[in-house]
Amino acid sequence: MTKNEIASLAMEKGKGILRLAPVWVPRTFCRPGKRIKLHPNDYYMYGAERGAIDERWLSSTTPADNGPGTLEDEGLSYVIVGDGRGESGKVGGSGKGGGSGKGLRVLLKEAVDELKGEIIGDGLWKKHGRWAMYSKFFDNLGPLPHHIHHSEEHANLVGMHGKPEMYFFPAQMNNHPGEFAYTFFGLNPGVTKAQLRRALEDFTKGDNGILELARAYKLAVDTGWDVPTGVLHAPGSLCTYEPQYSSDVFAMYQSVLFGEHVVPGELLWKNCPPEKVGDFDYLVEMVDWDVNTDPDFVANRFMQPVPINAGGAGEQGYLDEWICYKSPFASAKRLTVAPGRKAVVTDAAAYGVIVLQGHGRMGAWDVETPTLIRFGELTLDEFFVSECAARAGVEIENRSPVEPLVMLKHFSDNPDLKL
């Protein structure tokens, strides 16, 4: 079968909703928090030299940028046709990048390339020519370095796109807070460019003291933050749901982490044009100074859930909420269906979905939250809803008499979002 035939068959069998396989991504500079339901024995399935798995990517058509040893399909989501058992005809990639599992399949990227607007909608296809976002669970035991995601202008210099992102900290994914549940954002008002440049020049001398120029905010579950490109941020140790534009571009500006973990010097110059390596003024130039030193950073970037449907779960049987809503590049909702209830939920755009809690049915699919996932095993917790299915309305049924059914939905451009 061709990729087009497989993608079309998947759309037909799922009635416009595609089933996705889990995607596991390792990072050499991270330590796993072990809250993403991967089996404890499977965190080093890529080999110790590749680092531990501390991310699960969702609805991804974006390859991971993990340097030497990165697999050809690392970071890419696979569409699974049918129940994923007893079918043959593997298509695209090695499947070693976490998209493994038996049966007929095709990369989500290939399915979108083949069916275009039939999956993501004509408007998105004409604007981006691709599915232009993905989300992830970032699950690190400790904090990350103060780092930056390049603007579109700076990312284009190395053939990449900018990476605005947002954070949400689901209670269901945070049975423990990790080592440091505080995130540093930006720089203190009054910090000068000369101070930042001096910290960057000291990167290879030990702790370069960049966190002394910033402030930390205690993280709270079921809240979130907007992080535009050019904003320095040192994510804390809560397990984080991260809707973002489809890119994997970054540079690390902090040299020594909490617990004396050292950041390799080459990461300071990651995704830097070769002719700019060694140019500290260029690193300072990448920083969006107004946003980083904004005295109203909390008011402008912090997000609490905003209910969409009047009455909510008590009256209508479900509650739909915006949880990430301050960026034009990606957004997210949380949907909660009350025990024993059904709801038909419409959206104006295609979206990826991950089930956080409970079990039931979504359109043609049984859905459930896995307790434990072996590397390479399939699940029934991740799907992609085409624009046509989203606009027609998806019937969701909670089959538990006692537990809510909770899912997160991540969007690219969404006309329902009023910024």
Show the domains of the chain with their CATH numbers.
3-303 (2.60.120.10)
Alpha-carbon distance of 364 to 367, in angstroms, equals 10
Q: Which residues contact 159 (CB under 8 A, 6 or more apart)?
A: none
* Burial class (CB within 10 angstroms; exposed 0-12, middle 13-18, buried 19+) of 357: middle
* Burial class (CB within 10 angstroms; exposed 0-12, middle 13-18, buried 19+) of 336: buried
* Burial class (CB within 10 angstroms; exposed 0-12, middle 13-18, buried 19+) of 155: buried
- Tokens 């969006």, residue located: 288
Distances (CA, A) of 235 to 176, 227, 328: 16, 11, 22
Q: What pLDDT was estimated at residue 84?
A: 53
pTM of the model: 0.93
Question: Where is 334: in which H helix or E strand?
Answer: strand 331-337
Q: Which residues contact 181 (CB under 8 A, 6 or more apart)?
A: 218, 219, 236, 237, 238
Q: What pLDDT was estimated at residue 87?
A: 40
Q: What pLDDT was estimated at residue 352?
A: 98
Long-range Cβ contact pairs of 43-50 (< 8 A, separation 24 or more): 45/375, 50/26
Q: What pLDDT was estimated at residue 101?
A: 44
Digit-by-digit pLDDT tens for the chain (419 residues) are 899 999 999 999 999 999 999 999 998 878 899 999 999 999 999 999 999 999 999 999 999 988 888 999 999 999 999 765 544 333 334 455 444 445 799 999 999 999 999 999 999 999 999 999 999 999 999 999 999 999 999 999 999 999 999 999 999 999 999 999 999 999 999 999 999 999 999 999 999 999 999 999 999 999 999 999 999 999 999 999 999 998 888 999 999 988 788 889 999 999 999 999 999 999 999 999 999 999 999 999 999 999 998 776 667 899 999 999 999 999 999 999 999 999 999 999 999 999 999 999 999 999 999 999 999 999 999 999 999 999 999 999 999 999 999 999 999 999 889 87
Alpha-carbon distance of 247 to 78, in angstroms, equals 18
Q: Answer for the pair 118, 96: CB distance below 8 angstroms, yes or no.
A: no
Alpha-carbon distance of 376 to 22, in angstroms, equals 8
Q: What pLDDT was estimated at residue 115?
A: 98
> How many C-beta atoms surround the C-beta of residue 126 within 10 A?
10
Question: Where is 366: in which H helix or E strand?
Answer: strand 365-368
Q: What pLDDT was estimated at residue 247?
A: 86
Q: What pLDDT was estimated at residue 93?
A: 41
Q: What pLDDT was estimated at residue 100?
A: 44
Q: What pLDDT was estimated at residue 162?
A: 93
Alpha-carbon distance of 115 to 108, in angstroms, equals 10
Sign of the alpha-carbon dihedral angle for 210, 211, 213, 214:
positive
